A and B are shown apart, each in its own frame.
Chain A
Amino acid sequence: MRLEFTAEYENFRAEVRAFIRENRRFTAGAWTDVDGRPSVAAKRWQAMLLERGYVCRTIPKQYGGFGGKPDALQSYILDMEFAAAQIPRGLANQGISMLVPTLLEHGDAEQKATWIQPTISGEVIWCQGYSEPGAGSDLASLTTTAREDGNDFLINGQKIWTSSAHYSDMMFILVRTEPNVPKHAGISYLLLPMTTPGIEVRPLATMTGRSEFNEVFFADVRVPQSQVVGRRGGGWNISRTTLQHERGMLGDPGRALQTLTAIAKFMHTETVNDVRLMDSPVYRDRLLRLQARAQAMQFHGLRLLTHAARGEDPGVARLIVKLNGTELNYDIYAFAVDLLGEIGTLYGSPSPYLKSKGSWQTGFMFSLGLIIGGGTSQIQKNIISERGLGMPREPKPATSS
Chain B
Amino acid sequence: MEFGLSDDQRMLQESITRFCRERITLDSVRAQCGSGSCRDPALWQELVELGIAGILVPEDAGGAGLTLFDAILVCEALAYTAAPVPYLGSAVLAPLALTRSSGDWQDQLRQIASGKLQVGFGLTEAVSRREDAGVRPQGGKALFVMDAAQADALLLGTIDNQLIWVDASAADVQPLATIDQTRDCSLVTLHGQPGTVLANGDRGAALIRKLIGVARVALAADMLGSAQAMLDKAVAYSLERKQFDRPIGSFQAVKHLCADMAAHLEPCRALTWYAAHSHSAMPDEFALMSCHAKAHLAEVGSFVAKTATEVHGGMGFTDLLGLHYWFKRIGFDRQFLGGPELVRAEAAQLQGYC
Binding site for B on A (CB under 8 A): 1-6, 9, 73, 76, 264, 267, 278-279, 281, 284-285, 287-289, 291-293, 295-297, 299-300, 302-303, 305-307, 309, 316-317, 320, 323-324, 378, 380-382, 384-386, 388-392, 394-395
Residues of A within 8 A of B277 (CB): 1, 3
A320 to B238, CA, bound (A): 21
Of all chain A residues, the one with the shortest Cβ separation from B256 is A381
Known: A381-B259, A381-B263, A392-B247. 19 other contacts (CB 8 A): A3-B277, A3-B281, A284-B348, A285-B348, A292-B295, A292-B299, A292-B344, A295-B271, A297-B267, A300-B267, A303-B4, A317-B266, A323-B259, A323-B263, A385-B255, A385-B259, A391-B235, A391-B238, A391-B254
Residues of B within 8 A of A76 (CB): 1
Residue B1 contacts which of A9, A278, A378 (CB distance < 8 angstroms)? A9
Size range of the interface on B? Answer: 35 or more
Contact between chains at A299 and B255 (CB < 8 Å): no
Task: Please give me the 7 A-B residue pairs with the lowest Cβ-Cβ distance, nearest first.
Answer: A299-B270, A385-B255, A381-B259, A302-B3, A300-B267, A292-B296, A296-B267
**B243 an interface residue at 8 Å Cβ cutoff?**
no
Q: Can you sample 12 A-B contacts with CB below 8 Å? A: A1-B6, A9-B1, A264-B353, A278-B353, A279-B354, A284-B354, A292-B296, A300-B266, A306-B1, A316-B262, A392-B247, A395-B250
Contact between chains at A3 and B1 (CB < 8 Å): yes
Residues of A within 8 A of B121 (CB): none
Residues of A within 8 A of B268 (CB): 296
Residue A287 contacts which of B4, B260, B348 (CB distance < 8 angstroms)? B348
A384 to B242, CA, bound (A): 21
Is chain A's interface secondary structure helix, strand, loop, or mixed overall?
helix
Known A9-B1, A292-B271, A296-B270: A1·B69 in contact at CB below 8 Å: yes
Known A287-B348, A382-B255, A389-B235: A303·B3 in contact at CB below 8 Å: yes
A297 to B354, CA, bound (A): 25
CB of A104, distance to nearest CB on chain B (Å): 28
CB of B331, distance to nearest CB on chain A (Å): 19
Residues of B within 8 A of A385 (CB): 255-256, 258-259, 262
A293 to B347, CA, bound (A): 14
CB of A295, distance to nearest CB on chain B (Å): 6
Known A278-B354, A389-B262: A394·B271 in contact at CB below 8 Å: no
CB of A325, distance to nearest CB on chain B (Å): 10
Residues of A within 8 A of B344 (CB): 284-285, 288-289, 292
Contact between chains at A1 and B259 (CB < 8 Å): no
Known A1-B4, A292-B292, A300-B266: A392·B354 in contact at CB below 8 Å: no
Binding site for A on B (CB under 8 A): 1-6, 69, 235, 238-239, 247, 249-250, 252, 254-256, 258-260, 262-263, 266-271, 273-274, 277, 281-282, 289, 292, 295-296, 299, 341, 344-345, 347-348, 353-354
Contact between chains at A288 and B250 (CB < 8 Å): no
Contact between chains at A306 and B250 (CB < 8 Å): no
Known A303-B269, A391-B258: A285·B341 in contact at CB below 8 Å: yes
Contact between chains at A378 and B256 (CB < 8 Å): yes
Residues of B within 8 A of A382 (CB): 252, 255-256, 259
Contact between chains at A306 and B295 (CB < 8 Å): no
Residue A389 contacts which of B259, B273, B345, B354 (CB distance < 8 angstroms)? B259
Known A287-B348, A299-B267, A306-B3: A381·B260 in contact at CB below 8 Å: yes
A142 to B254, CA, bound (A): 29
Contact between chains at B250 and A392 (CB < 8 Å): yes
Contact between chains at B1 and A73 (CB < 8 Å): yes
A366 to B354, CA, bound (A): 32
Q: Which of B263, B271, B353 has the most CB of A within 10 A?
A: B263
Residue B270 contacts which of A292, A302, A323 (CB distance < 8 angstroms)? A302
Residue B3 contacts which of A284, A288, A305, A389 (CB distance < 8 angstroms)? A305
Contact between chains at A391 and B255 (CB < 8 Å): yes
Residues of B within 8 A of A324 (CB): 263, 267
Residue A1 contacts which of B2, B238, B249 (CB distance < 8 angstroms)? B2
A267 to B239, CA, bound (A): 48
Residues of B within 8 A of A295 (CB): 271, 289, 292, 296
A46 to B294, CA, bound (A): 45
Of all chain B residues, the one with the shortest Cβ separation from A285 is B344
Residues of B within 8 A of A296 (CB): 267-268, 270-271, 292, 296
A1 to B263, CA, bound (A): 23
A384 to B252, CA, bound (A): 12
Contact between chains at A391 and B250 (CB < 8 Å): yes
Contact between chains at B270 and A288 (CB < 8 Å): no
CB of A305, distance to nearest CB on chain B (Å): 7
Contact between chains at A2 and B2 (CB < 8 Å): yes
CB of A78, distance to nearest CB on chain B (Å): 14
Of all chain B residues, the one with the shortest Cβ separation from A3 is B1
Contact between chains at B281 and A1 (CB < 8 Å): yes
Of all chain A residues, the one with the shortest Cβ separation from B282 is A3
Contact between chains at A284 and B1 (CB < 8 Å): no
A390 to B256, CA, bound (A): 13
A289 to B292, CA, bound (A): 9
Contact between chains at B259 and A306 (CB < 8 Å): no
A391 to B299, CA, bound (A): 25
Residues of B within 8 A of A1 (CB): 2-6, 69, 273, 277, 281
Residue B262 contacts which of A297, A300, A303, A388 (CB distance < 8 angstroms)? A388
CB of B230, distance to nearest CB on chain A (Å): 13
Residues of B within 8 A of A320 (CB): 262-263, 266-267
Of all chain A residues, the one with the shortest Cβ separation from B299 is A289
Residues of A within 8 A of B341 (CB): 285
Of all chain B residues, the one with the shortest Cβ separation from A317 is B266
Residues of B within 8 A of A297 (CB): 267
Contact between chains at B239 and A391 (CB < 8 Å): yes
Residues of B within 8 A of A5 (CB): 1
Residues of B within 8 A of A384 (CB): 259, 262-263
Known A1-B277, A292-B292, A391-B235: A306·B2 in contact at CB below 8 Å: yes
Of all chain B residues, the one with the shortest Cβ separation from A1 is B277
Residues of B within 8 A of A285 (CB): 341, 344-345, 348
Residues of A within 8 A of B3 (CB): 1, 3, 299, 302-303, 305-306
A302 to B250, CA, bound (A): 33
Of all chain A residues, the one with the shortest Cβ separation from B231 is A389
Residues of B within 8 A of A4 (CB): 1
Residues of A within 8 A of B247 (CB): 392
CB of B134, distance to nearest CB on chain A (Å): 24
CB of A77, distance to nearest CB on chain B (Å): 9
Contact between chains at B271 and A299 (CB < 8 Å): yes
CB of A260, distance to nearest CB on chain B (Å): 11
